[in-house]
Chain A
Amino acid sequence: MTNIPAAPSSIQPMSELFGASVSTFWATTYNVDLALFDKFLFGLLGEPPLNVVVLSDQRRLAASLGRVPPERVDTLAAINSRWLLRGVRLGGSFHAKSYLAITNNRAVLLVGSGNLSSGGLNDGHEVFTIFRSGTQLGDSALVTWRAWMHRVVEMVGDVTLAGRFRDLEERLPTLPLATTSSPLIHNMDEPISTQLIAMVRDEVLGRVDNLLLAAPFYDADANAVAKLVADLKPHKVVVYISPATSVNGMSLKERLVESGAHVGVQVYIPEDFVHAKLIAVNVGRQNWLLSGSANLSQAALIRTAQHGGNVELAVLARFESDQIAATFIPPGMTSVASNLDALTSLIFQSDEEGESMEPHVYLINATMLPDGRVETYTNPPAQPSWLLDDLTMHQPLLLESSGRTITAGPLNGRLVQVIDTNGDILSNRVVVDDPIGLTAVLTSSTGRPNDDKPPELLDGDRNTPLGQALIWLHQHLVMDVSERLTNAPTGGVATEEADKQSDDDLWQRLEYEHLVRDPRVSTYRHFWTHTSLSGVDPIIELLDMLRNRTPRSDSAGRLGRSMLSHLLEHVPPADQQENQPHHPWKLSARIRVRALNVLRRWANAQTDERLVWIDPLAPAANFAMIIEVLTYLQIERIRNTRQVELTDDDLNDLWLLWLRKFAGSGQTDGWLDQIESANLNLVQQRLPEWLPEAAAALCWLAVPPSSQRAKVIEWQPVISSALDHKLVNPTEITARYVSTIWGTSVTPTQIDSQLLHVVEFIDDALWCTRTNSELSLDGLECKSPPATMHLQLRLDVGGVPNALLDPRIVRLIVTARNYRRCDGVALYAADTTWRIVVSTGKRIAYLKKPGEEVIESTIPVTKGLLEKLAGSGGVLAAFFSDITLT
């Protein structure tokens, strides 16, 4: 431990925080001088992309905005348009004063007493502690601040703010996960005073020597001081006051006298208002110094933010010095000793933390929509009689079916409040968000994603037709929501702590807001408003794009009702294509792999529940577009194999994957299986009419006649499910398309038959596999039946130790008889223990184990008896009443 080196004793926050290289600036403050920040300080920051957020106490901000006359609303133009302003309302006052500025490679954090105002940052007798990234303590303070801010953001619950916080985390320099003990403390969980006292008591158990106090505001009766004195039991207390110190002076005097400590009173000279808040505890040469936002009030020191206290930030440092008192004197000032009677002149005034006029309605935020209407969030939710007023005109607030509250018409004013039909003001005012402006400044873009291609693809893939097709799909459709989203930030909080604290709803809403503002959402609107292919819709746009890859002069206009028909008509003969100068549909192996990866990832993403935020039927639209691409690729490939190097297997595998994800495989695993019935009906109504015939073609091409049994079995559940969902329906066009590709004439009936064949195909092995799975057996195998006339089937069964008590045996017998359309069935245990023989009109024969006698049931099996028993979940033991079943 060393003594204190001499160093500059003053700081210029404006110089430290504001400069042309700053790309991120976050401030927390009790009050904000909007004009100073907006007209001057903001202009000192860098160019976009710029992340600027100011969090201020909501009540104080509301009071400030409440005073803005209509004539001055234009001075608020940049607020919530170029930088984000939010009022924070978390129980007590939002009183923390912290300022974070980030340049490309460093971060500076100031924590202190000064608000974001000329007084707070320039001339108000304030103190700040500065932390810089890249230093051990600086990093630890930044980690603490980030975790604290994470919690503040979650408690505020504002998705725009959350989005900016996520951006902030990305801009922060890399910070260590584990840090040394942070000098930065807050009162989210534990009161500031508790932390101070605990730090002192770690080393000093008895009375402390000195307690030095300076703050402009106390609680009225100095209760916070009383608690500090009681806990620390100082020999001496020194209070620094100015005439403006707000406290009931008599109470403070009484508290101090009651403590039994020697009391010193120091009066600041000149008698300026000193806004710094300092508490020092001294024992010998050891000192503990608390600075920051916390006044000497109960709300600041004694309570947590979660239990009625303010939200405070402080810096707690321990050091050795003989000069602790010097830290209490601002430059250019001094103090003179006075006596206790000097305290009695102090008056408790309505302090900076007490200003509030609670409106009936808390207007949380308001957002300008593209059509000029304004979306609002209020607490409580909007009532039918409410209007939104921009100080010059007003519009009714309408509750939409989506749950959003939006004005009936446009409002131009930037400052809004809720009023009733009598014009009475119901709410606080807020500055309307301009999402386009905010996004532009934050991202320095128009709001479109910066990565305009799937991440798997390379820039060079833009020059390939398939790459362009995929990029078109990526740019127009949301195939995978996770492309635009990142994991919710942890805010530097340890994982288990994050689990405990994280407000999943906020980050989910952030994702929701992020997605619903995705410009690609409009594609789906167009998609569903053109239920046929007779208009300009995304399907036609995609076709146009594809046609551009195979140029023809007779560009198709309206497509009619059949995609396949269009493809057949507009794909040029192979001999013409040979001379086309365009890029071929030929992919290098690596590009092929990348394209397959993209399409597979997209397929797997269709069941992501978040996709419906884009559009309730988004997966259906995506499915239709993929069919369009696949049918195109199929026919292109046949026309000129070299044009499409995706193989038959590639295309079929992709189709199988997409169809399975969409229609399922009979295991309620498809998207259609998981949506509500109302939406299912909508899908069936709105899917393009051509889709079933195109899907039938792709299915037939995947499983044509003479397909191997394995392929049939692989496709069977998927096609079966697709048929159930009415997604497959062969037509004449299907037949023409398939014939073109297949090279021989195929009729619709043949296609129909083949697909039915696939669906209905079964053999003993397949039946055993399915039945084994359905009954959860350990094995099932068809064997040659015993040479007995009345037995047609023998099944070896695994995983059934007690056949007479297992209801699966009854179901197995019934299922087997139905499958084979036979009557006599012999069941053998796979472990060669028991055997059962069943035949109508005969008693059931049961051999418990080899070498024992065969036991017969008490009654013969009559027709329908076993079916009835299976239906009731019964067991065969019911027919063997006189034997021991265990």
Chain B
Amino acid sequence: MEVPPNDIEIGEPTVQMPQWVARSLRFAEGRDPLGFQTTTQDRLMPVLLPGVLELTRRARYFSFHAFLLDEYRNRRLPAEGKSLSNFIKRCEWDFGLAVQRCPNNCGSSPVGARRLGNLATQPGPFPRGESVESTLGGYGLYYRSPMATLGIVAKAGTLLGNQPIPIDLLYPINRATRLAEGFRSAVSKTAYYQRWMWTGEKLPTEVVDEYAKVACFCRLYEWPDERDAVDDALFGTDLSYTGEHPEANAGSDSVVVDASFLSEVMQRRHSFGHYLTLVDAHPNVVSSGSVFRQALWEPPKARNHSQEVIAGQWAALIAKDVWQEALCSVWSEFCRSGLKKARELRRGLTWEETKQLAMNMVSGPPELMSEQLTKEIVNELDGGNLTISDVGGMPFNVATASLESLRRLTERLDTGTSGLVTTLELARRLATRSDDGWQQASQISSAWQPSLVMLLTGLRIHLDGAPSVGESLWWMVSNFVLRIHERISYSKLPDFTFRFRWEDGLLRFYDNGIGRFPLAAIRHQGLALLTKDLDLWQGTSPNDTSGSLTDRGRAFVTEVFG
């Protein structure tokens, strides 16, 4: 096709020809269409496990990055953010290459693995590169914020006197210097550190392999001082807190902290300690997300009140995820049904049609009657009599099933009625919870979705009105799906993430990823890997699918909970 004319001249002025419209809005699926992931990622996890992001998974990255910052400063490299960023990304590339060439074939996945590709399997010398594209590399993505939270790193912009520091620096405290020193000790005798780290030349194979031998994640246990330094970075505090800024306390053990810092350290210790008690009770927690979730919902008996609190908090997170999964089933069927109906009508749905659509999402499984009273379902659940068919036709007693299996059931069934039944059963199980940790976490809401407590209150009020099943489904759709998805999607424009939107008074559906949306990660892998790196548990089966606490692990639990 030729390029159509655009500008023409007709003897005198130039005429702008008509032009075809090009898109300004970018269609994107959007992974959090109802604002549930943000509740977990931005509201709950920072409270439950401060300083550990989902991809903050390897203990040695703490010491490695502290080492890089320390080296960068000690060698008086340019105090410019871009220069530091390039330095870190280059070093991460080299480190990743070394991890991939681990002589133990530990199989760890370093930052930048995608860019490295299969480079490690090829013969050297190896070209140099950068780990990831984003500023400050993997450090910036996964470790910078945690290390700042841990009081290890002062981010660029932190005031030094009246002047902001231009680049990230280590706080001049023992926890920080020990971290850097720990990694330096491990690699100090390598050719990489002594020469190649500072050049742009291709890396000889032997240099990489020598580096891998001492620096891979799996070798941390060989460097107890470094391991202890990471342990102290995560769970320790400094001796005094008198300083105003890093440089003011150079050489001391002090760093500026406040009560919230101490609170976060305690919270982190409790969460890791609680995790270890779960591993102790359920060895597969280290590898199975489902076991982890069920264990969090039904943890072993708490050793003290602190553990009761932390267990209550994590249980609230699990309950929230069950509610999310239940609503996701409602959402999923609503989107499917709506798109189908709109295609039949060749137009959007009116408000009344939308309501009817939601009220008629009863074919299940489990198949229910729209006009049936929801209270009847509640009564069956109370009596433990509600049995529904799983995808394979297997009977599933809702009231006696584990919460995790219930969550997975509605995930598999992917129907509005399964979402309703799961919600009702969840509410039944939560009705008597009132412990402190539960109270704290269940009241956390997001900008989009209400808290668990508000949901339960709303549901109770709704049920007081003796609604039918259809009305309850509409209640879920109208309160937690319709309006919230529109608000979220408008906030994301010009990324067009709508699955539906009101247009010209009609609800128009878009075939823009109508399936389920995932649960937000709850640090399962991070907890497993970090605690393993720190030698708090050891594998008891091939591939570490189960584990048992080490002496260090038991000591840690005892230290935390008594």
Hey, which bits of chain B sit against chain A, CB under 8 A? Answer: 1-25, 350-352, 478, 486, 490, 493-494, 496, 501-506
27 contacts between A and B (CB under 8 A): A4-B6, A4-B7, A7-B6, A12-B22, A13-B24, A14-B25, A34-B504, A40-B493, A68-B351, A69-B352, A71-B478, A121-B21, A124-B21, A125-B21, A128-B18, A128-B19, A128-B21, A130-B19, A131-B16, A135-B14, A180-B13, A183-B15, A291-B18, A319-B8, A321-B8, A323-B4, A326-B1
- Give the A interface residue count (CB, 8 A): 68
A1, B13: Cβ atoms under 8 Å? no
Contact of B12 among A12, A114, A136, A289 (CB under 8 A): A136
Residues of A within 8 Å of B493, CB to CB, are: 40
* Cα A12 to Cα B18 with chains together (Å): 12
* Cα A123 to Cα B508 with chains together (Å): 15
* Cα A117 to Cα B506 with chains together (Å): 13
A122, B24: Cβ atoms under 8 Å? yes
Q: Mark A248-284, 1 if CB is under 8 A from B, else 0.
A: 0000000000000000000000000000101000000
A116-138 residues at the B interface, CB under 8 angstroms: 117-118, 121-131, 135-137
Q: Residue on B with the closest CB to A4?
A: B5
Contact of B13 among A7, A135, A331 (CB under 8 A): A135
Residues of A within 8 Å of B352, CB to CB, are: 69
Residues of A within 8 Å of B496, CB to CB, are: 118
Q: Residue on A with the closest CB to B5?
A: A4
Q: Residue on A with the closest CB to B7?
A: A7
A137, B16: Cβ atoms under 8 Å? yes
Q: Is A169 an interface residue (CB 8 A)?
A: no
Within the complex, the shortest CB–CB distance from A777 to chain B, in Å, comes to 67
Q: Is A557 an interface residue (CB 8 A)?
A: no
Q: Residue on B with the closest CB to A275?
A: B21
Q: Is A430 an interface residue (CB 8 A)?
A: no
* Cα A303 to Cα B84 with chains together (Å): 70
Query: Which of A59-67, A449-457, A579-587, A590-598 is near enough to bind chain B?
Result: A59-67
Residues of B within 8 Å of A318, CB to CB, are: 10
A9, B6: Cβ atoms under 8 Å? yes
Q: Is A780 an interface residue (CB 8 A)?
A: no
Q: Is A818 an interface residue (CB 8 A)?
A: no
Within the complex, the shortest CB–CB distance from A410 to chain B, in Å, comes to 26
Q: Is A112 an interface residue (CB 8 A)?
A: yes
* Cα A318 to Cα B13 with chains together (Å): 12
Q: Mark A51-84, 1 if CB is under 8 A from B, else 0.
A: 0000000000001111111011001000000000
Q: Is A39 an interface residue (CB 8 A)?
A: yes
Q: Is A420 an interface residue (CB 8 A)?
A: no
* Cα A844 to Cα B350 with chains together (Å): 100
Residues of B within 8 Å of A34, CB to CB, are: 504
* Cα A114 to Cα B4 with chains together (Å): 19
* Cα A331 to Cα B496 with chains together (Å): 20
Residues of A within 8 Å of B16, CB to CB, are: 129-131, 137
B18, A112: Cβ atoms under 8 Å? yes
* Cα A31 to Cα B505 with chains together (Å): 11
Within the complex, the shortest CB–CB distance from B490 to chain A, in Å, comes to 4
B6, A5: Cβ atoms under 8 Å? yes
Quick one: given A10-B21, A10-B22, A127-B19, are A317 and B8 in contact (CB under 8 Å)? yes
A821-879 residues at the B interface, CB under 8 angstroms: none
Q: A126-B20, A319-B8 are in contact. List 14 more A-B contacts (CB 8 A).
A: A1-B11, A4-B5, A11-B19, A12-B21, A66-B505, A114-B21, A129-B17, A291-B18, A317-B8, A318-B10, A319-B9, A321-B5, A326-B1, A326-B5
A9, B8: Cβ atoms under 8 Å? no
Quick one: given A1-B10, A329-B1, A334-B1, are A11 and B20 in contact (CB under 8 Å)? yes
Q: Residue on A with the closest CB to B506?
A: A67
User: What 4 A-B pairs have minimum CB-CB distances, sorted nearest first?
Assistant: A67-B505, A7-B6, A4-B5, A319-B8
Residues of B within 8 Å of A327, CB to CB, are: 4-5, 17-18
Q: Is A231 an interface residue (CB 8 A)?
A: no
Quick one: given A72-B351, A129-B17, are A122 and B5 in contact (CB under 8 Å)? no
Residues of A within 8 Å of B18, CB to CB, are: 112, 127-129, 276, 278, 289, 291, 315, 327
Within the complex, the shortest CB–CB distance from B210 to chain A, in Å, comes to 54
* Cα A331 to Cα B4 with chains together (Å): 9
Q: Is A535 an interface residue (CB 8 A)?
A: no
Contact of A31 among B14, B490, B501, B504 (CB under 8 A): B504
Residues of B within 8 Å of A135, CB to CB, are: 13-14
A319, B5: Cβ atoms under 8 Å? yes
Within the complex, the shortest CB–CB distance from B334 to chain A, in Å, comes to 16
* Cα A327 to Cα B350 with chains together (Å): 38
Q: Is A710 an interface residue (CB 8 A)?
A: no
* Cα A121 to Cα B7 with chains together (Å): 21
* Cα A514 to Cα B556 with chains together (Å): 78
Contact of B505 among A8, A64, A317, A334 (CB under 8 A): A64
Q: Is A574 an interface residue (CB 8 A)?
A: no
A1, B9: Cβ atoms under 8 Å? yes
* Cα A9 to Cα B19 with chains together (Å): 5
B351, A276: Cβ atoms under 8 Å? no
A600-626 residues at the B interface, CB under 8 angstroms: none
Contact of A2 among B9, B350, B494 (CB under 8 A): B9
* Cα A68 to Cα B10 with chains together (Å): 49
* Cα A117 to Cα B508 with chains together (Å): 13
* Cα A319 to Cα B7 with chains together (Å): 10
Within the complex, the shortest CB–CB distance from B36 to chain A, in Å, comes to 21
